[in-house]
Amino acid sequence: MLHAVIMAGGAGTRFWPASRRELPKQFLPILGSKSMISLTMERLLSQIETHNIYVVTAADQVPLVIQHLPQLPPQNIIIEPFGMNTAPCLALSLAVLEQKLTDEDRMLVLPADHFIRDTEAFLESLELAHTIAAQNKLVTFGIIPDHPATGYGYIEAGDEFQPGAREVLRFKEKPDRETATGFIKQGNFYWNSGMFCWTLKTLRNAFQAHLPLALEVAQELVAAIAKGADDALVATIYAKMPRTPIDIGIMEKSQNRAVIPVDYGWSDVGSWQALSELSPADADGNTFTAQGIGIDSQNNYIHSDKFTALIGVNDLCIIETEQAILVCPKHRSEEVKKVVDSIDDQLK
């Protein structure tokens, strides 16, 4: 049976000032009227029953999960004392699910804050992943690239061993534009979506082989919670986790990997520029979330509830909230994290 784990513990710093530590990106209505995590949940419900969907999140975000996913059973919230990285949160999720499920049950892993345009194609890919995972495979979903993106990691695929599924040769970190262009021309490279599927047994074996500390800490933590450990002890145990992404800690080191190439209008919506590319624009390429006008201005993204007038500016992101205003060139919008880091340093 297929069970889903939605990872929802991120801080969403690349969407400052709309996202803040107390209201991360996954809880914002970035595309439409519903939050990203609500859309992720809805996408699953035609194929996975609510009681088979879990959310792993940091303790301070639990109230937000309950608010945005009122249909989710409270016992299906897997609580990290604090955010770490994807390998720790999935080791903890594995330890929790092993108490409820069988070795052969499948775990589908999804970030809470990604955009998928073609839900039907997405659901079809889940059916194939369910089948491939039964073959003791660590399955990942590779996005068929439509341009040489430098903001994503890449998966180099080998031979197709089953219709729709290919071997994984290696994972590549975010490339420069020249390297990314070469990947596109080669034709067997895919964007790393950060979505996975595997059986509980396959994932446990992978942790035991490549990241045993994470599994040991997760099991210790679950046992301590069952015995009524206080918050301080829980935090002390979890702090022993290696702060490692699942890609580096498990996927890059394993041999039994498979990639399913997919094309369903996916984006990790990782920056204001990425959001602008998914948003409707006027004839000059300007997007206004409220009313606005552009004079001799093209390709700007304006996030504000006020009427905004532009004169002679191009390719800008202008983001206004009650707390702050951001103005930056679109191509530098991923650097917003530097602002957050600088603010944090000032508060120390």
User: DSSP 3-state assignment of 245?
Assistant: coil
Residue-averaged pLDDT of the chain: 94
What integer pLDDT is reported at residue 347 of this predicted model? 54
Residue 342 has pLDDT above 90, yes or no: no
CA atoms of 299 and 333, how far apart (whole Å)? 14
What integer pLDDT is reported at residue 184 of this predicted model? 93
pLDDT digits (tens, 9 = 90+) for 100-154: 999 999 999 999 999 999 999 999 999 999 999 999 999 999 999 999 988 899 9
Give the residue carrying structure tokens 């504000």. Answer: 304
Please, what is the end-to-end C-alpha distance for the chain in angstroms?
Answer: 48
Domain boundaries, the chain: 2-136+197-255, 272-347
Give the residue carrying structure tokens 């439509």. Answer: 146
Question: Using 50, 70 and 90 to split pLDDT, how confident is the model at 306?
Answer: very high
What integer pLDDT is reported at residue 344 of this predicted model? 72
- Which stretch of 21-30, 36-45, 228-237 has the lowest confidence by average pLDDT? 21-30
CA atoms of 89 and 76, how far apart (whole Å)? 14
CATH class of 2-136+197-255: alpha beta
pLDDT digits (tens, 9 = 90+) for 226-277: 999 999 999 999 999 999 999 999 999 999 999 999 999 999 998 999 999 9
Contacts of 44 (CB under 8 A, 6+ apart): 4, 53, 110
What integer pLDDT is reported at residue 348 of this predicted model? 53
